[in-house]
A and B are shown apart, each in its own frame.
Chain A
Amino acid sequence: MSSLTASPVAPPVEQAAPPKKKTMARRLIPYGYLSPTVILIVVLMVIPIVMVISYSFRDNVIVQDNSVFAGFANYTKVLTDPDFLTAIQNTAVFITVSTVAHLVLGLAFAMMLNTPLLGGVAKAVFRIVYILPWLFTVAVIAVIWRLLLDPSGVVNYVLHTLGVVQQGVNWLGDPGKALWVVTFINIWSGYPFFMISLLAGLQGIPGDLYEAAAVDGTNWFQRFRHVTLPQLRPVIISMAVLDLIWTSQQFALIWMTTGGGPLHATEMLSTYTYKQAFSEYEFSTAAAAAVIVLLLTMVLAFFYVRQQRER
Chain B
Amino acid sequence: MAVGATRLKRVIGAVTAVATVAFAAACGSSDSGDAASGGNVTLEFAQWWGAELPAGDLDKIVSDFTAQNPNIKIKLLSAPYASTKQQLITGAASKTLPDVVGLDGAWVNDFAKQGAITDMSKLMTDSNYDASQLASQIQVNGKTYMIPVVNFVYPLFVNKDLLAKAGVAKTPTTRSEFLDAAKKISALGGDVKGWALPLDTAVPNGIQNDVMSWLWASGGSMLQDGKPALQTPAVKSTVEYVKSLNDAGVIAPGSLTMKEQDKVEKFTNGQVGMMIDSLAHINLIKKNAPSLKFEVAALPAEDGYTGKRGIPYASWGIGISNSTKHKAEAFKFVSYLMSKDTNAKLSTIANGFPGNKTAQPDFGDSDPLFKTAFDIYQQGYPANEFVGLPKSEDLMRSFDEQLQLVLTGKSSVDDALAKAQQSWSSVIG
Interface residues of A (CB under 8 A from B): 25-26, 28-33, 35-36, 39, 43, 62-65, 146, 150-152, 168, 170, 172-175, 178, 255-264, 275, 278-281, 283
Report the separation of the CA atoms of residues A306 and B44 in the bound assembly, to the nearest whole angstrom. Answer: 50
Q: Find chain B residues with CB under 8 A from A175 CB.
A: 256, 408
Give chain A nearest CB distance to B26 CB in angstroms: 11
CB of B13 within 8 A of CB of A263, answer no
**1/0 contact string of B397-421 vs chain A (CB within 8 Å):** 1000100110010100000000000
Chain B residues with Cβ under 8 A from A28's Cβ? Answer: 13, 17
Q: Is the CB of B394 within 8 A of A280?
A: yes
**Chain A CB within 8 A of B253 CB:** yes
Residues from chain B with a CB closer than 8 A to the CB of A31 are 17
Q: How far is the CB of B12 from chain A (nearest CB, A)?
A: 8
**Would B257 and A35 count as touching, CB distance under 8 A?**
no
Contact between chains at A263 and B16 (CB < 8 Å)? no
Instruction: List 22 A-B residue pairs with CB atoms under 8 Å apart, sorted by A's residue number.
Output: A33-B13, A35-B16, A35-B17, A36-B16, A43-B27, A63-B114, A64-B114, A172-B254, A173-B253, A255-B202, A256-B202, A257-B257, A258-B200, A259-B203, A260-B201, A260-B202, A261-B199, A261-B200, A263-B401, A264-B401, A279-B393, A280-B391
Please, which residue of chain A has its CB at the minimum distance from the CB of B390?
A281
9 closest residue pairs by CB, A with B: A259-B202, A32-B13, A262-B256, A151-B253, A32-B17, A152-B191, A261-B201, A29-B13, A173-B254
Q: Which residues of A contact B253 (CB under 8 A)?
A: 151-152, 168, 170, 173
Given contacts A168-B253, A170-B254, A280-B391, contact A36 B114 (CB under 8 A): no
B30 within 8 A of A: no
With a CB–CB cut-off of 8 A, which chain B residues contact A261? 199-202, 256-257, 401, 404
Given the known A-B contacts A64-B114, A173-B256, A279-B393, are A29 and B10 also in contact in the complex, defined by CB atoms under 8 Å? Answer: yes
- The verdict on A32 contacting B113 (CB below 8 Å), with A261-B257, A262-B404, A278-B89 known, is no
Give the distance in Å from the alpha carbon of A250 to the alpha carbon of B252 in the complex. 29
Contact B191 A168 (CB under 8 A): yes
CA distance A62 to B94 in the complex (A): 7
Residues of chain A within 8 A (CB-CB) of B136 are none
Task: Indicate which residue in A29, A35, A63 contacts B93 across the interface (CB closer than 8 Å).
Answer: A63
Check B23–A65 contact: CB distance below 8 A: no
- Is B115's beta carbon under 8 Å from chain A? yes
A172 to B92, CA, bound (A): 35
Across the interface, do A275 and B397 meet the contact criterion of CB distance under 8 Å? Answer: yes
CA distance A283 to B89 in the complex (A): 12
Answer whether A263 and B405 are a contact pair too, CB < 8 Å, given A63-B93, A275-B397: yes
Q: Do A62 and B20 form a contact, CB below 8 Å, given A29-B13, A173-B255, A259-B202? A: no
**Besides A173-B253, A255-B202, A280-B391, 12 other CB < 8 A contacts?**
A29-B10, A32-B12, A32-B14, A36-B23, A39-B23, A63-B92, A170-B254, A172-B254, A178-B257, A263-B256, A263-B405, A278-B86
B221 → A minimal CB distance (Å): 24
User: How many A-B pairs fall under 8 Å by CB?
Assistant: 114
What is the distance, in angstroms, from A278's C-beta to the closest C-beta of chain B? 6
Cα–Cα, bound, A278→B14 (Å): 43
Q: Does B169 touch A at the CB level, under 8 Å?
A: no
CB distance from B86 to the nearest CB of A (A): 7
Interface string of B378-406 (1 = CB under 8 A from A): 00000000000001011001000100110
Question: Which single residue of chain A is at the shortest CB-CB distance from B400?
Answer: A261
Give A218 Cβ to nearest chain B Cβ, in Å. 51
Question: In the complex, what distance in Å separates the CA atom of A280 from the CA atom of B19?
Answer: 41
Q: Which residues of B are interface residues toward A (Cβ below 8 A)?
A: 9-10, 12-14, 16-17, 19-20, 23-24, 27, 86, 89, 92-93, 110, 113-115, 191, 199-203, 252-258, 262, 266, 271, 391, 393-394, 397, 401, 404-405, 408, 410
State which of B13, B110, B266 has its C-beta within 8 Å of the C-beta of A281: B110
* Residue of chain B at shortest CB distance from A261: B201
Q: In whole Å, how far is A138's beta carbon from the nearest beta carbon of chain B?
A: 14
Contact of A150 with B16 at beta-carbon distance under 8 Å, contacts A168-B191, A261-B404, A263-B404 already known: no
> Contact: B20 with A36, CB < 8 Å?
yes
Q: Give complex CA distance A65, B255 in Å.
A: 40
Instruction: Report the Cα distance A283→B92, complex, angstroms.
Output: 13
How far does the alpha carbon of A28 sit from the alpha carbon of B397 in the complex, in Å?
56
Contacts of B113 in A (CB 8 A): 63-64
Shortest Cβ distance from residue B25 to the other chain A in the assembled complex, whole angstroms: 11
Q: Report B-chain residues with C-beta under 8 Å of the C-beta of A262.
A: 199, 201, 256-257, 404, 408
Tell which of A65, A263, A278, A281 touches B115, judged by Cβ atoms closer than 8 Å.
A65
Quick one: given A29-B13, A32-B14, A39-B20, are A150 and B200 in contact (CB under 8 Å)? no
- Looking at A146, A258, A260, A281, which has the most chain B CB atoms within 10 Å of its CB? A281
A188 to chain B, nearest CB (A): 18
CB contacts (< 8 Å) of B410 on chain A: these are 263
Least distance between A234 CB and chain B CB atoms (Å): 36
The distance from the CB of B323 to the nearest CB of chain A, in whole angstroms, is 13
Bound CA span A255–B17, Å = 42
Of chain A, the residue at the smallest CB distance from B24 is A39
Give A282 Cβ to nearest chain B Cβ, in Å. 9
The answer for the CA separation of A178 and B391 in the assembled complex, in Å, is 27
Contacting pair B20 A35 (CB below 8 A): yes
Would you give the shortest CB distance from A258 to chain B, in whole angstroms? 5
When distances are taken between beta carbons in the complex, the residues of chain B under 8 Å from A36 are 16, 19-20, 23
CA distance A63 to B111 in the complex (A): 8
Which residues on B sit within 8 Å (CB–CB) of A281? Answer: 110, 391, 394
- Determine whether the beta carbon of B93 is less than 8 Å from that of A62: yes
CA distance A43 to B191 in the complex (A): 54
B-side contacts of A25, CB under 8 Å: 10
Q: Which residues of B contact A260 (CB under 8 A)?
A: 201-202
Question: Nearest chain A CB to B218's CB is how many angstroms away?
Answer: 28
Closest to A157 in B: B191
Interface centre among B24, B115, B410 (most CB of A within 10 A): B24
CB neighbours of A65 from chain B (8 A): 115
- Residues of B contacting A35 with CB < 8 Å? 16-17, 20
With A32-B14, A63-B114, A278-B86 as known contacts, state yes or no: A172 contacts B257, CB within 8 Å: yes
